[in-house]
Structure formats: C-alpha cells, structure tokens
C-alpha cells in the first residue's frame, strides 16, 4: 500500500461536532425540530451525521416500515445472483391470503420479481412481501431470520422482526435510529428509485385483472426533493413514516414513529427536512471522476502510470456559516499488475474530521493499462541496458 496524505487540514465550513463512527451527532441547538410522534430521527444520508434525535433508540412497533428490510433483502438477492428482476414467482395460498394492504395476488399465478418489488415499494403490498420472502428464503420464517441477521449486521441493535409485512405479531419492534440505518442501506440500490417515484399506476395481473396502485408516501407529490420512503400504520404503532429527500448534493433521511394522525407524520417529516435543508450544506472535497495528483504505477504494462479519480464524491455535511478543517488520505495499491481496465478499483480515499473517519470511496482507473507485449518488454530491457 502506498499511503499519501493530501489536502491536509482543508479549510471548509464545519460545526462543533462530537464524532462516533457511523453516527456523527451534530449539536444544532434545535432540540425541538418536531415534537410529532413518540420518536424522531433526522440525519444526512451520505455520512450518517445526526442532526436531530428524540427517543431514537426506544423500542416501538413500526408497522409496515419493516418492509424496508424486506425490500433491502430483495435487492441484495438480485445483487448476489439468487434472484433476477425478470424471474417469475408463483404465488402461494399463504402469500395471497395476507390481509391488510395488498395488491390482490392470485394463488397459482406467476408474477415477475420486479413487479412484486414495485408493489411493496409503492403500495406496501403484504401479499407481494410474502411471495418474495418465500422465493428468496424458502419460507417466510426463514426470511424473517435473515431479516434479523441483517439488522444486526447493519448495527440495528434495537430491532426484532416477527414477519416480513409489519402486521401485528409479538414480539417485534424497532426504533427511529434503526429505521434510518435500514433505509440508508436500501437507498444505496439505485433500482429502488424506479419504484419509489411512482405515484399512480395500473398493476396488471396475468389473468387480465388490473389493480390500481397508489403511493402511500404523499410527500412524493407534495415535498420538493422527496423521492422515497416508507409509511406504516397499525393501531398499536400509530402513524409512521421514514422518508428521504435530495436537493443538490444533500440527501437527508427523516423518521417519525407513532404520530397521532397521518397528516401529522407528513407535516412532522416536512418540518425536519425543511430545518436541515435551511441550516446545513454539503461541501464536495473530492469530486467523482476528477483526476487526483497521484497516479497509480502498474507493473507489466507499457503505461507505467495511469490517472485515477474518486469513484464518487467525498463530501462533508456542515452547518452553514461555521468553519472547520478536514483531511483526506489517499491509498493507492502498490502491487498493481496489468491488465487494468478503466473503472477498476486501484485504491481508496478516506475523509477525516478531527482524526475520525467520516467518509470513504474507491479510487478507480481513468485509463487502461494493457499487458506489455514480448517485443515491448525486449525493447524496454534493451533501452535500460544501454
């Protein structure tokens, strides 16, 4: 590993901050961003920096917000090759018999995984959840076990799932912080946004029936920048909502659990997002695709050195008007061998504030490095000998 320190103590906007890995709390002085619900949480999606938290680890029922994990495992099943979006899934009697919100799947009919996942994201379809769970893990019970394992892997320490739908069943619970953790992970799957932005659509069944699906998250239509999230409601859980919104380079996550009305959960989330968009900003410290000064040395190639750049933006999430200092450490692999293709990972960049990591990304090749031919190797040896 070749380690270089660049951009040391970069002067940019910052805040008085107490850091902890993956959960940076920003003391904003806004202790009452919203009093809606039994618990609330507001954070930056990229860094996980916490702007506001109230009763964030209190264990509460979250109703259909548990479908965030159901969708996450579905996306990960596709990513791992265990499932494809095009695969047709035959619906069991167990799945079609789910109550609550549903898309009225018919026992014995087959639907694509893509269509089932869409109905979970848009209209919170319980029947589609169970159909996906049974396909991915063999049974809903096995799928729920994986949900709980994945929650622990993500650091969601106050979460226990009893089913994949959020329908009342004891014991099951989560908390505002854990919901934000799970949503943040799910948002890393770009395919999700193809579903979450849908407001109204006709869902066609194989037998010719049509069911109209409507997005349960009204902020998709009413809040500027909102492009995803998950609602939930049972008499036990109250009205719940986890939502995300993006403006410019800033993406936020806000969670409310246990509001006393549907309108108050939407207004509460809107107030939280408004506060953060107004009082914070995002600074890009390393720009995606922009070459850095350091180059990667590649053995066995005519191209001895190739240009590299960050795969994605490295950003700092900051309160407006305050100053601070950041550093970026560049690590380029020291044992790179040809061939190297454009886009291949060749190192890593890590962003620090106060000596604590707040972001990292891969460094990727901007140029290819092909194998050196026998003749090229001979000419180089001859040149070096001379």
Tens digit of pLDDT for each residue in 8-24?
A: 333 333 332 332 333 44
Judgement on whether residues 54 and 119 belong to the same structural domain of the protein: yes
In whole angstroms, give the CA distance from residue 292 to residue 162. Answer: 48
Judgement on whether residues 11 and 37 belong to the same structural domain of the protein: no
Judgement on whether residues 114 and 231 belong to the same structural domain of the protein: yes
Helices (runs of H) and strands (runs of E) counted in the chain: 10, 19
Express the helix, strand and coil content of the chain in percent, nearest 5 each.
30, 35, 35
The C-alpha angle with vertex 172 and arms to 55 and 187, in degrees rounded to 5, equals 70
CB within 8 A of 7, min separation 6: which ones? 285, 286, 326, 327, 328
Judgement on whether residues 341 and 378 belong to the same structural domain of the protein: yes
User: What's residue 103's pLDDT?
Assistant: 98
In whole angstroms, give the CA distance from residue 315 to residue 359. Answer: 7
User: What's residue 335's pLDDT?
Assistant: 87
Judgement on whether residues 7 and 49 belong to the same structural domain of the protein: no
User: What's residue 111's pLDDT?
Assistant: 98
Q: How many domains does the chain have?
A: 2
- Domain presence at residue 367: yes
- Domain presence at residue 193: yes
* Residues labelled catalytic: 64, 67, 124
- Domain presence at residue 172: yes
Asked if residue 171 has a cis previous peptide bond (ω within 30° of 0), the answer is: yes
Mark which of 251, 279, 307 sits at the end of a domain: 279
Please check whether residue 306 is in contact with residue 340, taking contact to mean a CB–CB distance below 8 angstroms: yes
Please check whether residue 240 is in contact with residue 233, taking contact to mean a CB–CB distance below 8 angstroms: yes
- Domain presence at residue 24: no
Judgement on whether residues 297 and 229 belong to the same structural domain of the protein: no
User: What's residue 25's pLDDT?
Assistant: 43
Judgement on whether residues 335 and 270 belong to the same structural domain of the protein: no
In whole angstroms, give the CA distance from residue 339 to residue 260. Answer: 60
User: What's residue 7's pLDDT?
Assistant: 36
- Domain presence at residue 22: no
- Domain presence at residue 255: yes
The DSSP annotation for 329-365 comes to: EEEE-S--BS-B-TT-EEEEEEEEETTEEEEEEEEEE
Shortest CA distance to 115 belongs to which of 229, 188, 211, 184? 211
The DSSP annotation for 33-67 comes to: S---SSEEEEEETTT--EEEEESTT--B--GGGGH
CATH number at residue 62: 3.40.710.10
Judgement on whether residues 85 and 210 belong to the same structural domain of the protein: yes
pTM above 0.75, yes or no: yes
User: What's residue 34's pLDDT?
Assistant: 80
CB within 8 A of 72, min separation 6: which ones? 150, 182, 185, 186, 189
Mark which of 221, 248, 279 sits at the end of a domain: 279
In whole angstroms, give the CA distance from residue 42 to residue 219. Answer: 16
Judgement on whether residues 272 and 357 belong to the same structural domain of the protein: no
For residue 64, the enclosing domain spans 31-279
What stretches in the chain show pLDDT beneath 50?
1-28, 374-375, 377-378
The DSSP annotation for 181-245 comes to: HHHHHHTT-THHHHHHT--EEEEEPTTS-EEEEE-S-THHHHSTTEEEEEEEEETTTEEEEEEEE
Judgement on whether residues 272 and 303 belong to the same structural domain of the protein: no
Q: Which helix (H) or strand (E) holds 246?
A: strand 238-247
Mark which of 262, 279, 296 sits at the end of a domain: 279
Judgement on whether residues 217 and 347 belong to the same structural domain of the protein: no
């Amino acid at each position: 590993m070749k380690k270089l320190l660049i951009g040391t103590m970069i002067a940019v906007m910052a805040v008085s901050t107490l850091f902890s890995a993956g959960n940076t709390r920003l003391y904003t002085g806004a202790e009452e961003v919203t009093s809606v619900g039994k618990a609330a949480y507001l954070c930056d999606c990229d860094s996980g920096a916490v702007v506001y938290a109230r009763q964030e680890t209190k264990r509460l029922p979250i109703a259909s917000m548990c479908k965030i994990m159901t969708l996450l495992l579905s996306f990960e099943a596709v990513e791992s090759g265990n499932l494809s979006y095009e695969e047709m899934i035959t619906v069991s009697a167990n799945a079609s018999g789910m109550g609550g919100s549903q898309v009225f799947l018919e026992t014995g009919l087959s639907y694509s995984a893509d269509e089932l996942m869409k109905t979970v994201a848009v209209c919170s379809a319980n029947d589609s959840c169970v159909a996906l769970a049974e396909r991915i893990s063999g049974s809903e019970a096995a799928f729920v076990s994986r949900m709980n394992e994945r929650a622990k892997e993500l650091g969601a320490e106050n979460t226990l799932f009893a089913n994949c739908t959020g329908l009342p069943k004891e014991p099951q619970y989560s908390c505002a912080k854990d919901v934000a953790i799970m949503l943040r992970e799910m948002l890393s799957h770009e395919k999700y946004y193809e579903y979450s932005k849908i407001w109204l659509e006709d869902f066609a069944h194989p037998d010719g029936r049509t069911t109209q699906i409507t997005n349960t998250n009204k902020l998709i239509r009413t809040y500027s920048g909102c492009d995803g999230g998950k609602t939930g409601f049972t008499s036990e859980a109250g009205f719940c909502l986890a939502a995300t919104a993006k403006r410019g380079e800033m993406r936020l996550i806000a969670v409310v659990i246990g509001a006393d009305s549907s309108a108050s959960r939407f207004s509460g989330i809107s107030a939280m997002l408004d506060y953060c968009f107004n009082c914070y900003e995002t600074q890009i410290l390393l720009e995606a695709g922009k070459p850095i000064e350091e180059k990667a040395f590649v053995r066995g190639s005519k191209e001895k050195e190739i240009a590299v750049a960050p795969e994605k933006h490295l950003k700092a999430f900051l309160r407006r008007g305050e100053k601070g200092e950041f550093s970026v450490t560049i690590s380029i692999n020291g044992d790179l061998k040809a061939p190297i293709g454009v886009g291949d990972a060749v190192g890593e960049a890590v962003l620090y504030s106060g000596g604590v990591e707040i972001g990292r990304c891969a460094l990727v090749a901007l140029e290819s490095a092909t194998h050196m031919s026998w003749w090229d190797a001979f000419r180089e040896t001859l040149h070096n000998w001379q």
